[in-house]
A = this chain, B = another copy of it.
Amino acid sequence: MTSLRSIDAATGEPFGEPFENHGIGEVAAACLAAEGAFDAYRAIDPARRADFLERIGEEIVALGDDLIVTAMRESGLPRMRLEGERGRTVGQLRLFADVVRQGGWAGLRIDPALPDRTPPRPDLRLRMIPLGPVAVFGASNFPLAFSTAGGDTASALAAGCPVVVKGHPAHPATGAMVARAIRAAIAATGMPEGTFNHLVGSGNDLGAALVQDPRIAAVGFTGSRGGGLALVALAQARPVPIPVYAEMASINPVIMLPGALAARGAEMGTAFIGSLTLGAGQFCTNPGLALAIEGAGLDAFLAAAGEALSGHAPAPMLTGGIHAAYEKGVAALAGHPKVEAVAQGTVDEAFARGQAALFSTDAASFIADATLGHEVFGAASLLVRCRDEAELLDVLAHLEGQLTVTLQLDAGDTPLAARLIPLLERKTGRILANGWPTGVEVTHAMVHGGPYPATSDARTTSVGSLAIDRFLRPVSYQNLPADLLPPALRDDGAAGWPRLVDGKPAGGAR
């Protein structure tokens, strides 16, 4: 029996009690439990399911400061960030509770029978049903909001799917506390026990066995490109393939248009470094690429960015492994013959401090070497200098899919921006104007997704209320007697839930 320890992110030293590494047997048992809970859980009145989601949030809050202190130590993230993240986690659960109550997710549609038509039209009724047990792989960089009780878990539970979480080995103690909170919510609200299951382990075998288990119906993942693609390959090779929602790699280009650069290049330089270094650069939406046309505005941007960066002291990164990968990525940029260093943050010889860095290259070199477009997870970014609009467009056309693209623009930039937007829509899930990509609102109109390799499925989002749709599929009922129809599809069913009747809206939200 192997075990797993918490590691203090600031020192690299283990602390606390060991956690038993789960094996293949525990995977099978967890998936069996989830499968066993599925029909009961999905049949529970949605209002009660919503109460359960809210109760999870309450139980997480009830863990008190212990949770924050534990997560701080395991992740190296500061108190304010983790308190904010806890609020975000609880808010996310409340959002999905509201969504469940409003019923738009059920996608109810009724086409009444037309007995006098030739041939007669049958009665047809459609609703969305949950896919089945969902495997969730938490992210290291959001130990609360995108881990054990994070967005994937919340949206899967909201959809009516039991969840099997593979806890992230970078924060086992935090994960165990949150799992306890979820179990307490299950007990308090009378949900089936197998609705939530928690696996602990540090190797890849555990995750592979989870994705291959025949009872698993879908996978949510947030992490690296390599990790996500490995899970996708496993899921596709199953006797019955299943969908994988992997949120993977994005360098979140920031395009600084000429008018904006001329008007406020220096200001943008400072703000850019703020976004770049936030949370030690460990965000999916970290701005790893900046694009601009050469000129005085860009010079002012670079001067201000360099000044802001050179005084930046590094925070501990999430794990030693992440730090090592960051250093390797930075070294590759630093040693690239076509890349030059613009500025670097200060050095700290303490454990796992990643020195922030800004590099630059020219458009032709960027286009010529696809590796320059690969994500370096951490506070490093690459500025691509373009000679003119044509070169800027050429760079954009060569970009891979992204979670976000940001436009910095002033009124005079509107014609150029308008030309860019159709291209940007095809490259990303979210287009921002005059902001910075870090900071992802958990709301209805958010898309945290995007074309490959940003995610493995661009048709969805992993943040925001639309994420519930990932775990649903439609079923149609033809001429079923009323007493065999799902209650929400009966003539008198689902008071207040929106329905399409003959394609026309009949009350409620969606």
From A1-9, A56-64, A123-131, the one touching the partner chain is A123-131
Is A223 in contact with chain B by the CB < 8 A criterion? no
Report the interface size for chain A: residues with CB under 8 A from the other chain: 78
A177 located at the interface, meaning its Cβ lies under 8 Å from any Cβ of chain B in the complex:
no
The residue in chain B whose Cβ has the minimal distance to the Cβ of A428 is B475
Whether A503 and B102, one on each chain, are in contact in the complex, defined by CB atoms closer than 8 angstroms, is yes
Is A350 an interface position by the 8 A CB rule?
A: no
Q: Give the distance in Å from the alpha carbon of A500 to the alpha carbon of B510 in the complex.
A: 6
Q: Are B421 and A126 in contact (CB under 8 A)?
A: no
Copies in the complex: 2
Contacts of A481 in B (CB 8 A): 409, 414, 433
Contact of A505 among B241, B417, B498, B500 (CB under 8 A): B498
Known A444-B500, A481-B414, A503-B99; judge A430-B466 contact (CB<8 A): no
Cβ contact within 8 Å between B509 and A504: yes
- With a CB–CB cut-off of 8 A, which chain B residues contact A422? 39, 43
In chain A, positions 439-463 with a C-beta closer than 8 Å to chain B are 439, 441, 443-447, 449, 451-452, 456-461
- Closest residue of chain B to A443 (Cβ to Cβ) is B111
A475 x B425 contact (CB < 8 A): yes
Within 8 A of B (CB), among A84-124: 98-99, 102, 104, 109-111, 119, 121-122, 124
Q: Offer 19 A-B interface pairs, CB within 8 angstroms, sorted by A.
A: A109-B466, A110-B445, A111-B446, A121-B441, A125-B445, A240-B401, A414-B484, A430-B475, A431-B476, A431-B477, A435-B478, A435-B479, A445-B476, A447-B474, A447-B476, A458-B473, A459-B473, A505-B508, A510-B510
> Which residues of A line the B interface, CB within 8 A?
39, 43, 98-99, 102, 104, 109-111, 119, 121-122, 124-126, 129, 131-132, 236, 240-241, 243, 401, 409, 414, 417-418, 421-422, 425-426, 428-435, 439, 441, 443-447, 449, 451-452, 456-461, 465-466, 472-481, 483-484, 498, 500, 502-505, 508-510
